Amino acid sequence: MFVACCTLCFAREPLERALRLIAELEFDKFELAIVEDGQHLRPTLVGDDFEAALQQVRRGPSLTPSSIHLDFGPVNWNDQAVRRRFDAHCRFAKALGVAVLTMPSAPLGTPLEQEIKRLSSLVDTAMRDGLVPTLVTDSGTLAGDPQIAVELCMAVPGLGLTLDPSYGLQGSHKEVEFDLVYPHVQNVHLRDTGNKPGEFQVRVGQGLIEYARIVTQLQRYGYNRALTVAIIDRPDNPFEREVEIRKLRLLLETLI
């Protein structure tokens, strides 16, 4: 296992500065967030100008990308232009040497059969480029239900999960229910979180995330990928950004 930092930790900074801040905080690996409503790379940019996007990432410090967090936003996945854009992102990830591709699953209420059909096509495309496609366990999506998340992985060979334990504290499913997903975990997003409204992100040590237990569970299944610091950069965060990112890096490094 190793510790990485998601560029969403510096979402309000230009990408080049975000990467430099990650390096200054002594990370050597990072997760690149490509989010349509974000300030860094956007899916439309990567899909339309592959080479320019590559150069933008490579202009930064000599960090190693460990994963890509890809969120197209609400799109019609039956649209061939959207599918071609997804294909371009898989080639982009391969060019960067990234192994893990993290994506959201469909919103709650989507028929399971419909989501399995969509994911089967996307996973086939990703695996052709040597990627490990994963779904985030976000409580607003199908994969936020640990039972459904496992069903999706079983129904779509090659599909994994990005565990985000914060949703086990803030969502409708108890944290212990997420023990089901550990055999399928290929990436992990971490911050500290309380169980009250408004406590999705709190200072490290003031929340209820059991980092040692998470690492122990991952080790049980031979997990050897990233523990990704994913403290989302928001103007209303009640803490100093760099201080909390550094604290969490140091804490996680003591556990691996």
pLDDT of residue 48: 82
Q: Which two tokens stand for residue 66?
A: 């460990």
The pLDDT, as a whole number, for residue 118 is 96
- Choose among 141, 147, 194, 189: nearest CA to 165: 189
Ordered domains of the chain (ranges, CATH): 2-253 (3.20.20.150)
Q: What is the pTM of this model?
A: 0.94
Torsions phi, psi for 165 (to 5 deg): -65, -15
Q: What local confidence, expressed as pLDDT, does residue 130 receive?
A: 95
The pLDDT, as a whole number, for residue 11 is: 95
Q: What are phi and psi of 78, to 5 degrees?
A: -85, -10
pLDDT at 174: 64
- Cβ burial of 240 (10 Å; 0-12, 13-18, 19+) is exposed
Average confidence (pLDDT) per 10 residues, the chain, 256 residues:
97 94 97 89 86 86 93 89 92 94 95 96 95 96 95 98 93 73 98 92 95 97 98 91 97 97
| Exposure b/e, 84-118, CB count within 10 A at least 16 = b | ebbbbbbebbbebebbbbbbbbbeeeeeeeebbeb
Per DSSP, what are the bridge partners of residue 134?
102, 160
Distance of alpha carbon 97 from alpha carbon 67, whole angstroms: 9
